[in-house]
Structure 1
Amino acid sequence: MLWNIDLTLVDVAQVTRAAYAEAFERVTGVPLVYLASTGGRTDSEVFFEFLARNDVRLEPGEEPLSDFIDALGEGFARRRDQLTARGRAMPGAQAALAAVAGLEDTVQTVVTGTIMSNAVAKLAAFGLDGYLDLSIGGFGSEHYPKASLIQFTRMRAAQAHGSDFPEWATVYITDSPRDVEAAIIGHATPVAVVSGSATESQLRAAGAKHVLEDLTDPKRLLGAVREATAVAGAG
């Protein structure tokens, strides 16, 4: 079971935006005036979108991405005490993780665009990290698109747990249409949650056949997961 983090399990957008702005200006010397959509994107992709939208042109041979990632981690770490004050766990997140943890032969982790240190901080702030095997997760610090992260995470899970996790039994829970598309490309079944900026119709148009209003009903979530894996396994 793979989980997206931002707006699926937690909402810490205010803290994240502040860390983005600090890191961007520190690396480029230019204030971050124009933001970019982060849904379904990795922190690496977000950085280059920031460059384009704020008309920052790199010099030949200049490669500031690693510096931005370092600065982003440092800036976020300084704001960890703000996470619970300016953020929240999404409704039903803890109960949903606990319910999935009760499923037999199931391992939970994350596939997120957030770099690993920041992802762990977001989850730990709300007591959600204990339900997840974060050692096998896919994170934005790896500089791969999410479809690839899904495939790599499945392989890591198999190696770490000594058990095969077939494509049809891999579920990715997310609020983003881009993530729904990534799940399909990465050979996982998406279960979408209408908890971000996307509507149900947008999530379905991206390819989600299983859509939940939120995570507040664990039985509905487990039903969607069972239905998704049963249909995929039969196919």
Structure 2
Amino acid sequence: MGTEHAGPLPEEPPISRLVLWNIDFTLVDVARVTRAAYAEAFEKVTGQPLVYLAQTAGRTDSEIFFEFLARNDIDSEQAVDLLPAFTEALGTAFARRREEMVANGRALPGAQEALAAVARMADTVQSVVTGSIMSGAMAKLAAFGLDGYLDLAIGGFGSEHYPKASLIQFTRMRAEEAYGRSFPEASTVYITESVRDVEAACIGRAAPIAVVSGSATETQLRAAGARRVLPDLTDPRALVAAVEEVTSGAGRA
């Protein structure tokens, strides 16, 4: 009997790089508008004014809402039931504040050029993993013309009510499904200014690149696990080099 020859082996899907961005204090600073939106949504849902704020860096909007309840002495037994109403009210509050974002906020220096530079990298997809709810995140990015560089359909948002480490993993899976190709852990990058986000990236198996544009220092960001630390986003070539390095064989731990 002749030897049977199997058909050609199926081709492995090509491997691509996935670059994920935090939004607040990494790409934009709309802190004043965000505080106003939180206050409006909180009072609408609870009937009480938002007097005491909470730390927001590296946290999701749902986490922030639960702390608002605790810090403002509001019975939190119904917190889970109140969360969907808060999320909806927060989205409405952000949608009404686009002009206010432009007037009282800003894209951080180099943000647009950095996104454009990553968009030009071969075999690279970029999206966001943010604590903001989806509608709020889209409003923040659109206010400064940054949304066109990102595939927001695959992004991870605070409205999903998962920690950021899980959002990173979910976003990677969504990218593979949407693009029909592999985005390995070693080819995934998370760019942020927050210590908590750097830690989340390490847990979520993405290489953290930190930017010193928030309250954390370079020393704190490196201690948290940042693979590279940039002073800001004003040097697109330095950013691209950092992304290439941490996703190359030589740059992997």
What is the TM-score of this pair, normalised by structure 1? 0.97
In structure 2, the partner of 1:110 is 128
- C-alpha distance in structure 2 between counterparts of 1:176 and 1:214, whole Å: 13
In structure 2, do the counterparts of structure 1 residues 78 and 124 end up closer, same or farther at CA, with 3 Å as the change threshold?
A: same
Partner of 1:212: 230
Work out the CA distance in 2 between the residues paired with 1:190 and 1:103. 18
Give the aligned partner of residue 30 of structure 1: 48
Q: Distance in 2 between matches of 1:61 and 1:43?
A: 13
How far is the alpha carbon of 1:182 from its aligned partner? 0.4
Letter in 1 for 2:43: E
Q: Is contact 1:169-1:233 (8 Å) kept?
A: no
Structural mapping, 1:186-205, within 5 Å: 186-205=204-223
CA deviation vs aligned residue, 1:144-178 (integer Å, no higher than 9, x gap)? 10000000000000010111000000000000000
Q: Which residue is equivalent to 1:85?
A: 103
Tell me how far apart the structure 2 counterparts of residues 128 and 62 of structure 1 sit (CA, whole Å). 33
Aligned equivalent of 2:6:
none
Task: Flag the 1:131–1:61 CA change in 2: closer, same or farther, 3 A.
Answer: closer
For the residues of structure 2 that align with 1:106 and 1:28, how far apart are their CA atoms?
Answer: 43
Deviation at 1:58, TM superposition (A): 2.9
d(CA) in 2 for partners of 1:222 and 1:61?
A: 42
The one of 69, 74, 89 equivalent to 1:56 is 74
Q: Which runs of no fewer than 5 residues in structure 2 stay unpaired?
A: 1-18
Tell whether 2:190 aligns with 1:172: yes
Q: Shift of the alpha carbon at 1:40?
A: 0.4
In 2, are the aligned partners of 1:181 and 1:206 still within 8 Å (CA)? yes
Q: Are 2:93 and 1:75 aligned?
A: yes
2:164 maps to what in 1?
146
CA distance in 1, matches of 2:80, 2:126: 38
SS of aligned partner of 1:108: strand
- Maintained 8 Å contact 2:29/2:108: yes
Distance between the aligned counterparts of 1:232 and 1:119, measured in 2?
34
Letter paired with 1:213: P
Distance change >3 Å, CA 155–CA 59, structure 1 → 2? closer
Deviation at 1:224, TM superposition (A): 1.0
Q: Kindly name which structure, 1 or 2, has the bigger radius of gyration based on alpha carbons.
A: 2
- Residues 171-230 of structure 1 show CA distances to partners (whole Å, capped at 9, x for unaligned) of 000000000000000000000000011111111111112100000001111111111112
Give the length in aligned residue pairs: 235
Asked whether the equivalents of residues 157 and 165 of structure 1 are also in contact (C-alpha less than 8 Å), the reply is yes
Offset of 1:59 from its aligned partner?
A: 4.2
Does residue 41 (structure 1) correspond to residue 51 (structure 2)? The answer is: no
% of aligned pairs identical?
73
Give TM-score, length-normalised by structure 2: 0.90
Matched, 1:161 2:182: no
